[in-house]
Amino acid sequence: MLETGLIFRALLRNKMGALLIAFQIALTMAIMVNAIFMIQDRQQQMKRPSGIDENNTFYLTNTVFAQDHNFQAELQTDLNTIRKTPGIVDATQINAIPLSGGGWSMSLQLEPGEDKDAIGSALYMVDEHGINTMGLTLIAGENFSQGDIQWRGEGQSKWPPKTIITKAFASQLFPDDWQSAIGKTFYISQSQPMQIIGIVEALQAPWNGWDGVERSMLVPFQMESSSSYYLIRTEAGKRDQMMPIIEKELAESNKGRIIRRVTTIEDTRKRSYRQHNATNKILTTVVTTLTLITSFGIVGLAIFSINRRTKQIGTRRALGATRWQIMRYFMVENFLISAVGVFIGSLGAVGLNMWLVSTFNLTPISFELVFFGVVTLFLVGQLAVLYPARKAALIPPATATATRTI
C-alpha cells in the first residue's frame, strides 16, 4: 500500500520547490500546446492547393523599352510563338501570379450603390487560354470565348461584363447553393455589373496570409502594358527543359525588350511560405527547449529531495521496503506534482488559445491537442524522475545508522 500521507507531508515540507516545478510544467504545457497548434495551422496553409498545375508551370516577366511598340500585335505574336513550341501545353498573359505576394484585389457586391455589403476578391486578368494554362478545373458553367476578351489600357476603369470565380467565392456569395451563382450578377466598382459564367474548383490569391486567400475571380482582359507576366504550362516533366528555350525564343524575337525572372510556381510557393517555415522552426525550438528545461527541473528537484532524505530512505530500506517501493514513492510524488501542473497548464493553454483566436483570427484549439499535451508532459515527468528514483532505490539500509565523522 502506498504511503500517500507520507508523500503529501514531504511535498508540504518542500512546497516551494514542488510549486515551482508544477508552475514550470503548466507554463510548458500552455506554450507547447499552442505552439504545436500554430505549427499545424501553418502546415495546413502550406499544403493548400493553389489550383494550378504547379509541377509543370512557370512564368516570366516581359518588359518592353522600345519606342513606338505595338503592344497588341507583339502580345499575340509572343503567345502564338509560345503555344506552337513543341512541349508547351498553353500560355497566357496574366496580371498577377498566385502566391507571389503581389497582385490585384477588388470589392464585389450583390447590389449596386454605395454603402452596400462588399466582399473582397483577388483578380486575375487572362484570355480564353487562362484556365487551360493554369490547369484549373472548371466545375460549373463555361470558359471565356475569344469574343469575350477585351483590351485594357493603363488607367481604364471600365470592366468586362463576364467573370469566372472560384468555388470558395461562390460559396460565400451564395452559401445555400454555390452552383446557383452561374448566371447571377454582382457589381464591381459599386455600379458596374458582371455576370458569373463559370466556376473553377480552386485558385489561390497572391497573398497567402489573407483571410480570403481562396476567393479569386478571372476577368477576360489582355493588357496593353510595357511590363507583364507570361504564364506558361508545359507537358508533364518538361518544365525545366522548356524554360531556357522559351526565354531564348522571346529574347531573340525582339531586341527591344528584356525577358527576366523566369520562375517556377514551385519556387514561388517556397518563397511565399519561407516565413511560415522559419516560424515553425522557431516554435519547434521553443517547445523542445521548454520540455528539456522542465525535464531538468524535475530531475533537479528529485535529486535535491533524495539528498535531503537519504537517512529516511535508508531507514525505510532497513524496515523492509523494496527498491521498487522506493522508486514508486518518488514516481507517485512526481505524478502528483505533474497532475497539478497539467491541470493549471490545460487552463492556461485554453486561455492563451482564446486570446490567439480573437487576436489573429485562428480556429479554436481541439480537445485532442490538449489531451496530447497532458499525456506528453505526464510521460516527460515520469521519464525524467526515473534516474533520481533509481538512485534513491540503491541507497543501502546501512545509511540509516551511518554517523558523520569530523
SS3 of 196-237: the string is EEEEECCCCCCCCCCCCCCCEEEEEEEECCCEEEEEEEECCC
pLDDT in tens, the chain (406 residues): 446 777 777 777 778 888 989 999 999 999 999 999 999 989 988 988 899 999 999 999 999 987 777 889 999 999 999 999 999 999 999 999 999 999 999 999 999 988 888 999 999 999 999 999 999 999 999 999 999 999 998 878 899 999 999 999 999 999 999 999 999 999 999 999 999 999 999 999 999 888 889 999 999 999 998 899 999 999 999 999 999 999 999 999 988 899 999 999 999 999 999 999 999 999 999 999 999 999 999 999 888 888 888 888 888 888 888 888 889 888 988 899 999 999 999 999 999 999 988 888 778 999 999 999 999 999 999 999 999 999 888 988 877 665 444 3
Long-range pairs, 351-357, Cβ under 8 A, ≥24: 351/30, 352/30, 352/31, 352/34, 353/33, 353/34, 353/37, 356/34, 356/37, 356/38
Could you give the CA distance from residue 101 to residue 123 in angstroms, rounded to a whole number?
A: 13
Q: Which residue shows C-alpha cell 505549427?
A: 39
pTM value is 0.83
